[in-house]
Amino acid sequence: MVDTLINSLTKAGMRLTSTRVAICNYLAGSQDHPTAAQIYAALKPDYPSLSLATVYNTLDVLVNAGAVNVLGQIGDGNVHFDPDTHPHINLACLKCHEIVDFTSQHTVEMEEIIRKESGYQIVGSRMVHYGICPACQESQNSEPTA
């Protein structure tokens, strides 16, 4: 939802500049787990004046507002973000660096329990299981044992 993201910027007292809105639109439109550099590269053609700093700054605000989750690195040297804050597990492949969502009712219930019982003021979450995806397991087997 773009609305949620844009709302977060407004609530944080920030102006809705075109680049900030563009970043929100990109995040809302993506079913992906992009890095700052990916967002920058995707928007640069349409917003030639965009700087990487603005991407980082905007992401920072969204993360602190809990509108976007930070998943962290997954073997590549880049922090991945998740615009989908619904409780779910992210399966990350250490080889091809793909991330796919894995939903389970457990996650939803656990989220509730944590927010109720932990005493923490929860901002966001980072639910990642990392390993080797089915496709990369295949290529592992077919490749020579070097």
Question: Do 90 and 82 contact (CB within 8 A), yes or no?
Answer: yes
Q: Does 101 bind Mn ion (CB under 5 A)?
A: yes
In the complex, what is the shortest distance from the CB of residue 2 to DNA, in angstroms, rounded to a whole number?
A: 16
Q: Which is nearer to DNA, 54 or 125 (CB)?
A: 54
Stretch binding Zn ion (CB under 5 A), from 5-13, 26-34, 47-55, 87-95: 87-95
In the complex, what is the shortest distance from the CB of residue 108 to Mn ion, in angstroms, rounded to a whole number?
A: 14
In the complex, what is the shortest distance from the CB of residue 130 to Zn ion, in angstroms, rounded to a whole number?
A: 11
Between the CA of residue 137 and those of 49, 88, 96, 101, what are the distances in Å? 42, 23, 11, 18
CA dihedral 134, 136, 137, 143 (to 10 degrees): 150
**Chosen from Mn ion, Zn ion, a copy of itself, none, partner binding at 95 (C-beta under 5 to 8 Å by type):** Zn ion
Question: Do 11 and 65 contact (CB within 8 A), yes or no?
Answer: yes
Residues in touch with DNA (CB under 7 A):
13-15, 17-20, 35-37, 47, 49-54, 56-58, 60, 77-79
Looking at this protein, which amino acid is placed at residue 84? D
Q: Max CA-CA distance within the chain?
A: 57
Q: Does 90 bind Mn ion (CB under 5 A)?
A: yes
In the complex, what is the shortest distance from the CB of residue 106 to DNA, in angstroms, rounded to a whole number?
A: 29
Conformation bin of residue 66: beta by default, left when phi > 0, alpha when psi is -120 to 50: left
22, 67, 93, 99: which one binds Zn ion (CB under 5 A): 93
Q: Does 114 bind Zn ion (CB under 5 A)?
A: no
